[in-house]
């Protein structure tokens, strides 16, 4: 379980997260929605340990994240806006490098499986600097899955992907959740909430203002509650940004 209690985070005079509480159980797929600047990226960066909260606590299965050892951090798989890939290395070399960081004794078979999964087996020996944004995103997903993490934390993971890989990754993430993995992804796409998530959380002005199982909602009711909780009509933008094949 990931548990966040009373977390605050500011950048200079700008308060980004404000007394935020959040919890994710194994097997959940949580969609995090909110307007630009609501704090979605900041929350995900805190959850994976890239940034520190100004106050409050973040725990993974009862252990403080910021005081944890490498083994605990290795339970997290992360996809961010920045790819965290090395452009001067090949596709395969990037995964081999991360395999060594995670202490995988022999990652060759796992790497081959993931390259096939994300459709990059034919480009395995090409440098990542030659890849399109979508190809780098697919490789980032392979990197996040490489060490079989307990939790996946993903910021706008579907950006830059065509419909084939969107559908494929939806299936992958649902299978991961069925195995007991906890998954959090931020999105501006209302359709992704209903096609993959089991729960939706609305982040507004730095705190979670709504959290509900997706099965209890309709698209219309979610649009209405978004308007009610945020005072904004940005939910229409969530629909309009749906990616086309």
62 belongs to a structural domain: yes
pLDDT band at residue 234 under the 50/70/90 scheme: very low
142 belongs to a structural domain: no
- Is residue 76 helix, strand or coil? strand
210 belongs to a structural domain: yes
pLDDT for 69? 65
36 belongs to a structural domain: yes
pLDDT for 239? 47
Number of domains in the chain: 1
Domain CATH code at residue 198: 3.40.50.300
Supply the pTM of this predicted model: 0.92
Contact 58, 66 (CB under 8 A): yes
pLDDT 10s digits, 155-198 = 999 988 999 999 999 999 999 999 999 999 999 888 899 999 99
Q: What's the domain range around 190?
A: 1-75+151-158+181-245
pLDDT (average), residues 144-151: 96
111 belongs to a structural domain: no
pLDDT band at residue 130 under the 50/70/90 scheme: very high
29 belongs to a structural domain: yes
- The H or E element that residue 62 is part of is none
180 Rama sector, left if φ>0, alpha if ψ -120 to 50, beta otherwise:
left
Whose tokens are 């961010």? That residue is: 80
40 belongs to a structural domain: yes
108 belongs to a structural domain: no
Out of 47-51, 166-170, 197-201, 221-225, the most confident range is 197-201
């Amino acid at each position: 379980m990931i548990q966040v209690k009373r977390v605050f985070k500011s950048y200079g005079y700008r308060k980004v997260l404000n007394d935020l509480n959040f919890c994710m159980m194994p097997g959940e797929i949580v969609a995090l929605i909110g307007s630009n600047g609501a704090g979605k990226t900041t929350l995900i960066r805190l959850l994976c340990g890239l940034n520190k909260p100004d106050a409050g606590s973040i725990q993974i299965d009862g252990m403080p994240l910021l005081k944890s050892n490498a083994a605990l951090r290795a339970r997290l798989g992360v996809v961010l806006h920045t790819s965290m890939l090395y452009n001067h290395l090949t596709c395969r070399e990037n995964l081999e490098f991360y395999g060594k960081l995670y202490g995988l004794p022999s990652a060759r078979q796992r790497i081959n499986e993931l390259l096939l999964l994300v459709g990059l087996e034919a480009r395995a020996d090409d440098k990542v600097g030659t890849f399109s944004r979508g190809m780098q995103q697919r490789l980032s997903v392979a990197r996040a899955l490489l060490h079989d993490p307990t939790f996946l934390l993903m910021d706008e993971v579907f950006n830059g992907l065509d419909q084939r890989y969107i559908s494929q990754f939806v299936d992958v993430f649902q299978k991961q959740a069925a195995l007991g993995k906890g998954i959090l992804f931020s999105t501006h796409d209302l359709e992704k909430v209903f096609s993959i998530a089991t729960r939706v959380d609305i982040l507004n002005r730095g705190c979670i203002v709504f959290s509900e199982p997706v099965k209890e909602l309709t698209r219309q009711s979610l649009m209405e509650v978004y308007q009610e909780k945020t005072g904004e009509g940005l939910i229409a933008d969530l629909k309009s940004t749906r990616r086309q094949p």
